[in-house]
Amino acid sequence: MSLLTRLNDTQYRFLHAIRHPGALDVGRRPGTAKDFSALNGGRHALIVTFRRSGEPIPTPVNFGLDGEGRLYFRSERRVPKVRRIENDPHVRVCPCNFRGKPTGPVTEGRARVLPKEEETHAYKALAANWGPGSRPYEKLADRYLEWHGAYVEVIPA
């Protein structure tokens, strides 16, 4: 197991332990917003993916917007949210804080894992929205730990 994998697994356990209880409520109510404009100026979005059973699973992510109404985030390819998106592209998205506490309206969306040739556009959108706390971590992962994950694009449904 690589150093990056161990670091990420530790981070995932910590973030799950501190997740705000209101995050699960987002998955249980339909979206009312038409676009991602409520995310402008934010650093975190709550992405709700769905298990095969229909159970909603909320996950806060760092995101970027591309100016054309598309949202991007990245994750390790091995994590369940990527597999859930590949099985069911329906997602719900709302602005949130670091712990996943919803802070705005919910938008229904369609997500897809991007092919390699489309990752550069997604990376630029993400990098433009990294804050001072996440920028060093993300750059370290990119340059020295050889991060090879999945970039995901979400469009409003």
List domains and CATH numbers for the chain. 3-156 (2.30.110.10)
Give 60's pLDDT tier (boundaries 50, 70, 90).
Answer: very high
- What is the pLDDT, as a whole number, of residue 143? 60
Taking a C-beta distance cutoff of 8 angstroms, is the pair 89, 82 a contact?
no
147 φ, ψ (degrees, to nearest 5):
-65, 130
- What is the pLDDT, as a whole number, of residue 65? 97
For residue 62, pLDDT over 60 is answered with: yes
- E-strand ranges in 10-119 read 44-50, 56-62, 64-65, 71-75, 90-95, 107-113
**HSE (CB half, 13 Å, CA atoms) of 2?**
10
- What is the pLDDT, as a whole number, of residue 131? 78
Integer Cα distance of 97 and 93 in angstroms? 13
